[in-house]
A = this chain, B = another copy of it.
Amino acid sequence: MSALDPAIADRLKRNAEGLVAAVAQQRGSGEVLMMAWMDDEALHRTLTTRKGTYYSRSRQRYWVKGETSGHVQHVHEVRLDCDGDTVLLVVDQDGAACHTGDRTCFDADVLLGTED
């Protein structure tokens, strides 16, 4: 049982694992930093602490972004999409968002570049 506000919990459309997708975006620049997952408790912790907090499917535990790297996400806004299955976090990201050391998780692999 999560402490998430029931008025919010009622609007979530979770996947079969009980999770919603979470996209983190840098405030100001608009860079899309990363995509991860949250259950109700991770969303509750994010909303109440204003630190980006996710649920790791592989490790089956909560993780606060930056808890080991120091690259914390200060959360300014959280928005739920029209389907209720994705949240958008507008954050101030300290340092690299990606575990590889890249600024964002989308920096390294360009599948299609801008047309000439």
Q: Which of B85, B99, B111, B112 contacts A82 (CB 8 A)?
A: B99
Inter-chain CA distance A11–B108, complex, in Å, is 12
Inter-chain CA distance A32–B74, complex, in Å, is 18
Total number of A residues with any Cβ neighbor in B under 8 Å: 43
- Judged by a CB distance under 8 angstroms, whether A73 is at the interface is no
Chain B residues whose C-beta falls within 8 Å of the C-beta of A105 in the assembled complex: 81-83, 86
Chain B residues whose C-beta falls within 8 Å of the C-beta of A88 in the assembled complex: 32, 106
Chain B residues whose C-beta falls within 8 Å of the C-beta of A11 in the assembled complex: 109
Q: List 9 A-B contacts (CB under 8 A).
A: A23-B35, A30-B31, A32-B88, A35-B86, A76-B115, A80-B106, A81-B106, A86-B106, A87-B111
